[in-house]
Amino acid sequence: MAKDKTGAVVVAGGGIGGIQAAIDLAESGFYVYLVEKSSSIGGRMSQLDKTFPTNDCSMCIMSPKLVECGKNLNIDILTLSEIKAVSGEAGNFEVLVNQKPRYIDLDKCIACGTCTEKCPTKVPDDYNAGLATRKAAHIRYPQAVPLKYLIDPDRCIYFEKGKCRLCERFCPAGAVDFTQTEKQITLNVGAVILATGFQPYDPALNDTYGYKKSPNVVTSLEFERILSATGPYQGHLVRPSDQKEPRKIAWIQCVGSRNVHSSDKGYCSGVCCTYAVKQSMVAKEHSAVKLDTAVFYIDIRTYGKDFEKFFNRSRDEMGVRYIKSRVNAVLPGDEEGDLKIRYVDEEGRLAQEDFSMVVLSVGLDMPKESIELAKNIGVELNHYHFVETGYFDPVATTRPGIYVCGVFQGPKDIPETVTQASAAAAKASSLLSGARFTLTKEKEYPEEIDVIGQEPRIGVFVCHCGTNIAGVVNVPDVTKYASLLPNVVWAEENLFTCSQDTQVKIKERIKEHKLNRVVVASCSTRTHESLFQDTIREAGLNPYLFSMANIRDQDSWVHQSDKEGATRKAKDLVKMAVYRAAKLSPLSRQRLPVIKRALILGGGVAGMTAALNISRQGFDVVLVEAEKELGGMARKIHRTLAGDDVQKYLENLIEEVTHNDRIQILKEALLADFSGTKGNFKTSLNVGPAMYQREVAHGALIVATGAREYKPKEYLYGQNDSVKTQVELEDILLKERDVAKGWRSIAMIQCVGSRNAENPNCSRVCCQQAVKNAIALKEINPNNNIYILYRDIRTYGFAEDYYRKARELGVHFMLFREHEEPRVEEVDGSIHVSFRDITLGRDVTIIPDQLILSAGIVAGDTEKLSNMLKAPLTSDRFFLEAHVKLRPVDTQTDGIFICGTAHSPKRIDETIGQALAASSKACSLLAKNYMEVGGVVAKVNPDRCAACQACVRACPYEVPFINEKGVSEIDISKCHGCGICAAECLPKAITLYHFEDNQILAQIDGLLEVI
């Protein structure tokens, strides 16, 4: 029974997936043990320089997550630890963890670095992929959490020879402890989540491309470290052999992937194409010389949300060359250190070209330790050694109560890993819902310091942001300038101000210098303000006594070619922030009870999955469907690529939802009105044929409204009965097999309604639909001639196996170029498909019995809903997430989440995973008893109000109203703090707290005043 279950979860793996799962669970009321085998959390993402498709600094966006995880009272981080055994059953597991010694006392270490400074041993640094050295006493990376040093016993002179111990002698805190030994820890938990990540494929195993022969042949991860500000060359783009700047760099794709021979893997690793696009662009930005970049590829697989636009920008605006080819060899080039690439191009011609460097886009591989872990705990793996999961339950392993997320489940990128992490947390939370808050602790803040009447004492912290800022702005000069500004009593610079050690520093400086205002000059308030506000609150300051100068997004990123101008602008931005900080006042927030009910818009697979999970976590759900029946687009899909029965699954899902007492279903219902704030929303619905009005109060909202199949306007669709879409073909294959059996020839055209000027993105599922239906046609009639006309085949992940199977069955894949699409015409009642086949090098005409169009997925009518919810859309009208990498199911309106094809095109299993993630986020909110409101909100002075209703008309959230006293009133629980009402109010009756006139005018004075 639920009361007997343990309200704690073990998460194995401290990468971004493990971190997200841990945070979600802790926010939902569960205690978490985060077990990480290395000395700090962060995983592979911490090693990246930038992230696609925004080219954000990886550490900049990740650091707040690291700090949040490290500071959470309900997350116990166990580093240098590995799970050895799991006994018991779901709800009551006993987990045996082996923890290796650090030889540094965590409680005593002050991270001063003296041990590293005194250590005489230098060894290759695995964090920097062997391109630099580290000491035996070291820290993994500068922003590490926990920020504690360790001693490597395999490299330490004392462990090898029994002497040295310089670290122990000089450590000022007495933290070095050589007596530490391995420990066995037993944890009692209710569930386990596996998030152990991946290892990059080792190209030395099959050295086709000279990886072992030339230092200038590097892996993609090694190249990330070369680009990184904390890497071996401090972010300067140089080649390893001679530290000279490269003139030409080549990327070779699919190294270790899409190959069943030798040590390579048959699956597609999914991320390599897009990270090569990113690296080729970032390399051009890093380079001090005009850099030529070329990517040698088989298929470009930029199938994620807005990834195709990212690829197009690299090619069309940045000048990255893309060469469709098969690389035969990498040989020594004509000049010293250079490399010659020999390849066969798309037309079958042999060619060669010299480059300064070659980057191998290596795939994602499973570490032996992960395979061993799965074996030890009784979790089955697939034939590629990834965790075996069901298509319709993508994060559940074969052992109940043990879940998986991230690359251990299958190749995927960061947003999908984060999404799956939240999905795994949702499954664990539903299992343990009855034990919520039984083991958790509540964070307590110190008493707030009363600063009223005190003269401002401002501390300024200027961030290098690696090279993002310091590579353009003279940070020491800006820091010195800040120290001379009025009311500034302390100014300092930091490599990464958002790192855990700097958060500690900020709190220390507040106490040491009696600071009562804090200014951080770094990046965006959108991503980092809440982190710094929480830090100063931990030091006793009101969180609103904080000001931020964005000298990255608004300065260094836009003035890279004018370093002096960028430095001057940084000084102005800092001065403005300081002048504003001097005028800041403490603000208070009020508690508002949370309505423990979720409203879900959309009754397809996404909406129903989210509804079920939320109900299983103990919360009520109102499920709203615009149509007469549940099911959405899934009603038109019969089988998955692997052959799973979609309709049987859908039937069972509808049955479960319909008979769930916590779920109320409203069909033929449309949103009429929406208001409120997270935890307290009110929605009006028009329901049924009679359109009667129904009001629903709810704490969270999930948008799962889906998308629709593109209806082709091209290729004679709708004009000739022999022209069909893949969805229509699938229906015939199920219901009219005899008809399909009589066809002798079928042509399929890919990217219909996708990857063009009107819809530039990839629809993600079309290639797999074509392969699925082609295989089915071959199984019905092996003598069928099937021709798939394509630009790139995008069977990512394990779907590559089916692409290979289709080729083995005799399906013909025929390549055409972009802007050279096939021409279709009707001749004497027959369909003629004409195009230039690039591989054959000649024009081809096919006369098929049937022409099948792989029609894309396009957004539904989302504009009206977007406006009502104040949830923005992308340019192609899908809902926009709050952050593409780390908040993939949140919207910019707090308390509103998105999932399924309302977010972007995706498969059913991916839709299920995202729906679970959205339900996890919703339940994290619904699990709370109250939300805090207020702070940055508008307030009306009734004595000055003219009741002109300008604020009522202007507010996009419809919050102001004229009350019974005849003056405007603003409900602070609904106010979003946008400030439009304050700007519109002519009598100046409205004040926007934290952006008051004297604060804004102080900023302007700071800009104009000459010091």
The CATH number assigned to the domain with range 709-858 reads 3.50.50.60
Which residues, in sequence order, are CB contacts of 303 under 8 Å at separation 6+?
A: 762, 764, 794, 796
For residues 416-435, average pLDDT: 98
Task: Please give the structure tokens belonging to residue 96.
Answer: 């045996």
Q: 1010 or 602, which is more confident?
A: 602
Range 815-842 average pLDDT: 94
Contact status, residue 765 vs residue 854, Cβ threshold 8 Å: no
Contacts of 758 (CB under 8 A, 6+ apart): none
- At 499 the pLDDT is 83
The yes-or-no verdict on residue 841 having pLDDT over 70 is yes
- How confident is residue 110, by pLDDT bands cut at 50, 70 and 90? confident
Instruction: Give pLDDT, residue 525.
Output: 84
Do 1-99+182-198+366-441 and 709-858 share a fold?
Answer: yes
The CATH label, of 1.10.3210.10, 3.40.47.10, 3.50.50.60, 3.40.50.10490, for the domain at 593-706+864-927 is 3.50.50.60
pLDDT at 524: 85
As assigned by CATH, the class of the 200-364 domain is alpha beta
Q: Per CATH, the architecture of 937-992 is what?
A: 2-Layer Sandwich (3.30)
Identify the pLDDT of residue 298.
97
Q: What is the mean pLDDT of residues 320-338?
A: 96
Asked if 395 and 389 count as a contact pair (C-beta separation under 8 A), the reply is: yes
Q: pLDDT value at position 1?
A: 44
Q: What is the mean pLDDT of residues 230-245?
A: 94
What's the average model confidence in pLDDT over 265-287? 96
Domain 458-585 has CATH 3.40.50: yes
Strands (E), 634-780: 663-666, 669-677, 680-687, 692-698, 700-703, 707-709, 723-725, 745-752
* Pairwise CA distance, residues 65 & 258, whole Å: 34
pLDDT of 498 reads: 86
Enumerate the domain spans of the chain. 1-99+182-198+366-441, 101-181, 200-364, 458-585, 593-706+864-927, 709-858, 937-992
Q: Report whether pLDDT(814) > 70.
A: yes
Counting residues of the chain whose pLDDT is more than 70, the rounded percentage is 100
What CATH architecture is 101-181? 2-Layer Sandwich (3.30)
List of E strands, 541-679: 546-550, 589-593, 597-601, 620-624, 663-666, 669-677
Structure confidence at residue 767 (pLDDT): 98
Residue 4 has a CB neighbour count (10 Å cut-off) of: 10
User: How much is the CA Rg of the chain, to the nearest whole Å?
Assistant: 30
Q: What are 906's two structure tokens?
A: 């995706």
CATH of 1-99+182-198+366-441, one of 3.40.50.10440, 3.40.50.920, 3.50.50.60, 3.40.470.10: 3.50.50.60
Q: What tens digit of pLDDT does each residue of 184-219 get? A: 999 999 999 999 999 999 999 989 999 999 999 999
* Lookup result for tokens 């399924």: 900
In angstroms, the CA 111 to CA 109 distance is 6
- Asked whether residue 2 carries a pLDDT value surpassing 70, the answer given is no
| Contact call for residues 1000 and 1007 (beta carbons, < 8 A) | no
- In the predicted structure, residue 931 carries a pLDDT above the cut 60: yes
